[in-house]
Amino acid sequence: MTAPVFEEFEPTADCDCAGCVQQRRALAAGEHPAAHGCRRALVLFTAAGVVLGGGGGAAAATAVGVPSAPGSALRPAPGAAASVGDPESANEQGGTAPLHGPNPATATVPAALRPVTRAEIINRAKQWVAAKVPYSMDKYWSDGYRQDCSGFVSMAWNMGSNEWTGSLAQFATRITREELEPGDILLFHNPDNPTKGSHVTIFGGWTDYTHTYYVAYEQTKPHTRKQPTPMGYWTNADRYLPYRYNGLITATTTTTTASGPVSADEYPGATAFGPGANNAHITKLGEMLVALGFGKHYTVGPGPVWGEADRRATEAFQLAQGWRGPAADGMPSAETWQLLATKQGGSIPAAAPGPGGTSAAKPTYPGSRHFRPGRSGAHVTQIRWKLVELGFGKHYTAAPGPVWGEADRRSVEAFQRAQGWRGAAADGFPGPETWRRLFA
């Protein structure tokens, strides 16, 4: 009979069983590591042509895995199939649902994100690790969160609902892997098999300077675990995308006051804004919005604490630039900040006549270079409002903004043709005479 082949694997570094504690002591004392501790072994029995238990037959093979610590995954011998302990194939997940479930149809997106720090995210994740919360796609833990991978992230992020891998990204901002910090996530949403082929982990920090492994907190069968994991995961590594929770409070956003005045020259980053943020950059944002005529949403302020007035005022400014969808979500992007800081964005009605209004003084022609595809500035907004006022705005599908486009060219062309001009004189690009007649 062929002897069994054993391949041993050392336990994870955070295994706290008595055997592993003793093993680490033995290693420190210079003893042989196999003298102590628990092991994870894959035992392969090859019985080709051998009668077992009195029976005969063809060759047979059996694999037996013995995990050393709770939650540790079986690792096959080299060349064997990695079918054991793979959350992407073994685990499933539920859909969006309210806390405590169980009816996804009644789920609603929370009106505001609950603020949370990185330390709070990791500490909340550790609670499930310590409790060894059993994996389940249809059961809810005592705190109201579903016991699957996305429910685990919803819990750690202190969200007011149970999300799934197809919705978590809506509450977060995509970042690079180099930007990962504890509390961020690595998300793999598989559109081919969303409920069973997807997975998400919480990033707990790098294991060393090479950044090839990180500490992953994750909800997987049989229960919540924490272990070193290759970037971005054991399988489908390249498809795990890093995200940062929009409700995160960082050291920057928890500062209530600044030591000096905040400059508008440099965009402070997306983490400076949003629910729970409290800093001088928010005050500066509000002041810039008010200066351009977007202050009607403020009853008091602007101030350092982010609120709905800040979001609505920012959204109004973004909509005035002609932006729609995610570009006009009320969260200041780098482009939003730049237009506000340089006062190049569309105003209501500071630098230009608003709809139905006129300028007190005739503006000076700024030069043809301002009216070319892709150029942006207050002069573009100014001429747009004037064209709308004079009845040449039918080509605009959104409120006038600062970026020159085809709708502007066609509107100017219509005005020029109305003057009786043809050919090069009616090319849609405003020259000095076009400008003079527009603002006569």
pTM: 0.42
Instruction: Tell which residue, 108, 112, 102, has the closest CA to residue 137.
Output: 102
CA-CA distance, 150 to 107, in Å (whole number)? 15
CA-CA distance, 321 to 341, in Å (whole number)? 15
- Residue 429 has a pLDDT of 93
CA-CA distance, 246 to 419, in Å (whole number)? 52
Instruction: Render each residue's pLDDT in the chain as its tens digit; 440 residues.
Output: 444 433 333 444 555 555 555 555 555 554 444 444 443 333 333 333 333 333 333 333 333 332 232 233 333 333 333 333 455 656 788 888 888 886 654 545 454 688 888 888 998 999 999 999 999 988 999 999 999 999 999 999 999 899 999 999 999 999 999 999 999 999 999 888 877 789 999 999 988 778 889 999 999 999 999 999 999 999 899 999 999 999 888 644 333 333 345 556 678 888 888 876 788 889 889 888 888 888 887 877 788 888 888 988 898 888 888 788 878 888 998 888 888 888 776 654 433 344 434 444 578 888 888 898 888 888 888 888 888 878 887 887 766 667 898 889 999 999 999 998 999 889 999 998 999 899 87
Q: In what order do the strands lie in the sheet with 172-174?
A: 172-174, 241-245, 185-188, 199-206, 213-218, 225-230
- Residue 222 has a pLDDT of 93
